[in-house]
Structure 1
């Protein structure tokens, strides 16, 4: 783990109050990323009753904006390591991601889920203390990857992210429920 990743791990651990387990994809040839890339798995705690999976080394050093993503799950899921690795590969090789971008996972985020896309969002559940991590002369953005349905993605494209977020608030969306219905 390089110095950047050590700083990021410390940032996450301070924010979420627990040390993670560092994991790597079991399918490295499917979506190649640098060997140092990891996904950090944070177990639930009494204060935070969900699993958290966070990228560690998603942005390459030469990228103008440093970005890392995390997502939440009601269950421990090794598949989320592969999913975040695929998203990191896309970010590094195809299209740099940022706030309000969407990404097509190509598969459900968890078994039996209709959510096969993701919305890159500000980390509303954690706030600015997680979102901004100073590192050397840069600000690393730590953003939330919210699993969404293709219909929700299409609604966001047609009506804007604020309209989709309003629907999330109105319906009281359960972000960690893989079988939640679409809000659209």
Structure 2
């Protein structure tokens, strides 16, 4: 059996190892009900090394839910530092903590507010971590083998498109148009 504290340490180690050379710092969010449902929840901020790179906010502890293995950790990318991303991670982790609301690849979440101030995007798509690949996606066994998934901000019309068509079709459109996913004011592709 994996000790929860050892698992948390291994999850944090996975994040720090993946972003080796970057500053990785706590980005706490202790307001609201998150710690009641997900007591091991914490968020970290990964600082970019160069202009134009993403700020990354990532959970550590969302996957620690009493089970020994598996579970999901989440990350969101941003063009700027903003504590709203820690709030978003707390909100998504809290929502995901309910069995009836378990998230997986292709899940869409209406967050009820713009993902960033003045952005028209108010939905998140749970996606594979395409910008970073499987090295980030799969935590090692000592971290419970948790899976890190990307919360991609999308427009309501894009959420409707995915529900009406397919996730693969939406992802193909994003790729073919070379969409800048860090642009909080990007036009919808569907």
Q: TM-score, normalised by structure 2?
A: 0.88
Deviates more, 1:93-102 or 1:68-77: 93-102
Residue 150 of structure 2 is aligned to residue 144 of structure 1 = yes
Q: CA RMSD in A?
A: 2.2
Q: Structure 1's 56 and 48: CA in aligned 2 closer, same or farther, altered over 3 A?
A: farther
2:60 aligns with 56
Q: Distance in 1 between matches of 2:15 and 2:143?
A: 19
1:13 to 12, 16, 23: 16
Q: Distance in 2 between matches of 1:108 and 1:63?
A: 35
Deviations 1:33-58 (A, max 9, x none): 43431111111113982100001111
Residue 187 of structure 2 is aligned to residue 181 of structure 1 = yes
Whether the aligned pair in 1 keeps the contact of 2:124 and 2:153 (CA below 8 Å) is yes
Instruction: Tell me by how many angstroms 1:136 deviates.
Output: 3.8
Residue 124 of structure 2 is aligned to residue 118 of structure 1 = yes
Q: Structure 1's 51 and 181: CA in aligned 2 closer, same or farther, altered over 3 A?
A: same
1:69 aligns with 74
Whether the aligned pair in 1 keeps the contact of 2:125 and 2:153 (CA below 8 Å) is yes
Gaps of 5+ in 1: none
Residue 161 of structure 2 is aligned to residue 155 of structure 1 = yes
Whether the aligned pair in 2 keeps the contact of 1:52 and 1:73 (CA below 8 Å) is yes
1:2 aligns with 5
Deviations 1:18-37 (A, max 9, x none): 24211222522488543431
1:27 aligns with 31
Whether the aligned pair in 1 keeps the contact of 2:7 and 2:142 (CA below 8 Å) is no
Whether the aligned pair in 2 keeps the contact of 1:31 and 1:86 (CA below 8 Å) is no
Q: Distance in 1 between matches of 2:138 and 2:166?
A: 24
Q: Distance in 1 between matches of 2:120 and 2:51?
A: 28
Instruction: Tell me by how many angstroms 1:135 deviates.
Output: 2.4
Gaps of 5+ in 2: none
Q: How many residues align?
A: 184
Q: Structure 1's 175 and 162: CA in aligned 2 closer, same or farther, altered over 3 A?
A: same
Instruction: Tell me by how many angstroms 1:114 deviates.
Output: 1.3
Instruction: Tell me by how many angstroms 1:108 deviates.
Output: 0.6
